[in-house]
Structure 1
Amino acid sequence: MALSKLNNLYRAVILDAAQNPHHKGEIEGATNQMTLHNPTCGDTVNLQLKVDSQDKIADVGFTGDGCTISQASASMMSDAVLGKSKEEALEMAKIFSDEAIGKKHSSDELAKLGDAQALTSIMQFPARIKCATLSWWALTRALEKDADDDNADSSQAKE
């Protein structure tokens, strides 16, 4: 497939995810939550997860406002991690974050991201990296919180 056709496909996938987001909305009985805000562009992601007794993500929801890329990323991330173990989800977030900083992964590792791997093409635009990674950072922080921490947290995205 020609590179321009592939880029157009990626754009279409990203636009569809932003216009028709999956898992947008609050969930009942969230066990893990994280709110992150990117002060550079104003994106906010409020992520809620329900992790079951087998450490699997049984439900995921997000709210917040932001640009097309941040909303598409939150939707794609939520699709990708639903049903995964905490360990698998954290591995996926690391793969995504590594790609954001230029560390390349194999096509098999990228395939774990599902449709979200289309967002790795955004990484060639440095100003958009924070938009794409905000929900993945929220996922990592929500899953890494200690059980005795307060589940509601609000933080600024790293500059």
Structure 2
Amino acid sequence: MSFNNLDTLYRQVIMDHYKRPRNKGIIDEGITVDMNNPTCGDRIRLTMKTEGDKVVDAKFEGEGCSISMSSASMMTEAIKGQTIENALKLSNIFSDLMQGKEYDEEELDLGDIEALQGVAKFPARIKCATLSWKAMEKAFKED
């Protein structure tokens, strides 16, 4: 697949998550973290329910750009059913991806999250993409 076709596909995945976000809403009982990006005005409320060391549900509400909101949608999809430890590992891998670092695709399939790798080329947008991930890290590191 050519670079232009791949770029177009990634843009479509991002816009799909933006226009039809997965896991939009609030979990009444569970962990709640509010975060914002004062640079651009993105804000998110992440709510998660855990049982033992497993994330059984994750939802978000907020306002922001397509990168911020689609990243939150992708992140909540990715962490549901994961252990907290694996969710935090995934966050570290995503952080590396945002810094332009490679990851082993055979070891880990990032699914739709891979569509955000192009954000690394735009340093001003990295905070948009990582907002929900930082909220998840904050929740589990304070918990």
- TM-score above 0.5: yes
CA deviation vs aligned residue, 1:10-61 (integer Å, no higher than 9, x gap): 000000000000101101211x2211110000000110110102x1111111
| Separation of aligned partners in 2, 1:24 and 1:51 | 17
1:122 and 2:124 matched: no
Whether the aligned pair in 2 keeps the contact of 1:14 and 1:72 (CA below 8 Å) is yes
Where 1:64 maps in the other structure, the secondary structure is strand
Whether the aligned pair in 1 keeps the contact of 2:26 and 2:60 (CA below 8 Å) is yes
CA RMSD, aligned part only?
1.2
Where 1:91 maps in the other structure, the secondary structure is helix
For these two proteins, the number of residue pairs brought into alignment is: 143
| Separation of aligned partners in 1, 2:81 and 2:108 | 18
- Unaligned 5+ residue runs, structure 1? 147-159
TM-score when scaled to structure 2? Answer: 0.95
Whether the aligned pair in 2 keeps the contact of 1:73 and 1:132 (CA below 8 Å) is yes
Counterpart mapping for 1:3-152 below 5 A: 3-30=3-30, 32-53=31-52, 55-109=53-107, 111=109, 113-146=110-143
| Separation of aligned partners in 2, 1:52 and 1:80 | 17
Displacement of 1:119 = 0.6
Where 2:64 maps in the other structure, the secondary structure is coil
| Separation of aligned partners in 2, 1:20 and 1:46 | 18
C-alpha distance 138-108 of structure 1, shift in aligned 2 (>3 A): farther
| Separation of aligned partners in 1, 2:5 and 2:100 | 23
C-alpha distance 64-109 of structure 1, shift in aligned 2 (>3 A): farther
| Separation of aligned partners in 1, 2:96 and 2:17 | 22
1:149 matched residue in structure 2? none
Displacement of 1:109 = 4.9
TM-score when scaled to structure 1? Answer: 0.86
What fraction of aligned residue pairs are identical, expressed as a percent?
47
